[in-house]
Amino acid sequence: MQKQQENPTLAAKGGIKKGDLIFYIGFVAVIVIVCLLLNAVTGGDFLYGSNIRMIISHAVYPTFVAWALCFLLACGYTDMSLGGVLVLGSFAACMLGNTVGYPGVILGGVLVGLILVFINFSVFAFTGIPSWIAGISLALIYEAGAVFLSRGEVTGPLVASDLADHLRALGQLPGSIILLVASMIVIYFVYNRTTVGLNIRAMGGNKDVAKALGVNITKTIICVGIICGIIIGLACVVQQSTNVRTTVKTGLTSMFMVFQPMAVVLLAQILERKINIIIAVPICAFFIYAAFNFLTLMGIPSGTLQEACLGAFLIIFGIIGSWGKKGVVK
């Protein structure tokens, strides 16, 4: 009888619980069934090799933005200026890349992303302005900066040029996947296994309680800015390497660049009960982009109708993610 009482304890301490194992098996089965159904509807085009490679390749960029949003939302902030940062960071990756080579691609994107997102979080930390108001204001400033660069006599031709062919490896397979896996390992460790990651989540849960427990709120906000800045910088590199050229966004249209990654995060939050959110993000990014790829294969235009579908996804995922939670949902 003693051994029978110890076994549940051992199962709880190590290994996969039976309920979790059933979930994982069912999860994989659902993925396979859905993919087969979509493939049947599209006449075999969905699971065609080149189409799958395209889906995986284009899911890398929103994955990085979604990871940055995970840190942002975990500490209780909303920053809608990230789209403007992505535009300027992509400009820098292209301009420096075509000028000095591959180091310029990486340095341009990461440096601009780090500086601008650090500025954002410094504003959040030291002004007391609500993050969503500050974010919209900063988005307008970044969009104006992008317009200035695109119309400058010196910078205009550099911004309008395509990223050179030999500088696009991080936007193509297998380079993008190698970068994705390496980044996921580091981001997972920072989010789940460091004091900074713990402080970020504590602050997002209740800032006053976190402060009472000894968390330095200002320092934590600045750390989030640095972490998100680096991740967004990498997203700029991947985005420019994938799309080759980035266009100017005005009238707050840069915010649309954040909506698809936001849908990824909301879906990942639903899966978070069984899968760590950092691991769930790339899985959900594949789902989201596969859905839009399916819509394209079915002849649904990539303009208004697909944007309507994206809006519906955001509402549905938001409702499911907040189901059963009491009080105000951030």
CATH 3.40.1370.10 for domain 52-294, yes or no, is no
Query: Cβ(46)–Cβ(294) under 8 Å?
Result: yes
What pLDDT sits at residue 5?
44
Q: Measured between alpha carbons, how far is 49 from 51 in angstroms, rounded to an integer?
A: 5
Written as six digits, the tokens of 97 are 């890349």
**Confidence (pTM):** 0.86
Structural domain spans, the chain: 52-294
What pLDDT sits at residue 147?
92
Written as six digits, the tokens of 65 are 């933005």
pLDDT tens sequence for the chain (330 residues): 444 444 444 344 455 677 677 877 887 888 888 889 888 988 888 888 888 888 888 899 999 999 999 998 888 888 889 999 999 999 999 999 998 888 999 999 999 999 999 999 888 888 878 888 898 999 999 999 999 998 888 888 888 888 988 989 988 889 999 999 999 999 999 999 998 888 888 887 777 777 777 788 888 888 888 999 999 999 999 999 998 888 888 888 888 888 889 889 988 888 887 889 999 999 989 988 888 888 888 877 766 677 777 777 667 766 665 655 554 455
**What is the widest separation between alpha-carbon atoms in the chain?**
83
What pLDDT sits at residue 65?
95
Nearest CA among 221, 233, 220, 258 for reference residue 129:
221
Q: Measured between alpha carbons, how far is 257 from 251 in angstroms, rounded to an integer?
A: 13
Nearest CA among 70, 284, 285, 271 for reference residue 190:
70
What pLDDT sits at residue 322?
62
Q: What is the 3-state secondary structure (H, E, C) of the chain?
A: CHHHHHHHHHHHHCCCCHHHHHHHHHHHHHHHHHHHHHHHHCCCCCCCHHHHHHHHHHHHHHHHHHHHHHHHHHCCCCCCCHHHHHHHHHHHHHHHHHHHCHHHHHHHHHHHHHHHHHHHHHHHHHHCCCHHHHHHHHHHHHHHHHHHHHHCCCHHHHHHCCCCHHHCHHHCCCHHHHHHHHHHHHHHHHHHHCHHHHHHHHHHHCHHHHHHCCCCHHHHHHHHHHHHHHHHHHHHHHHHHHHCCCCCCCCCHHHHHHHHHHHHHHHHHHHCCCCCHHHHHHHHHHHHHHHHHHHHHCCCCCCHHHHHHHHHHHHHHHHHHHCCCCCCCC
Q: Measured between alpha carbons, how far is 12 from 21 in angstroms, rounded to an integer?
A: 13
Question: Rounded to the nearest 10 degrees, how much is the dihedral formed by the CA atoms of 319, 187, 79, 257?
Answer: -80
What pLDDT sits at residue 115?
95
What pLDDT sits at residue 234?
95
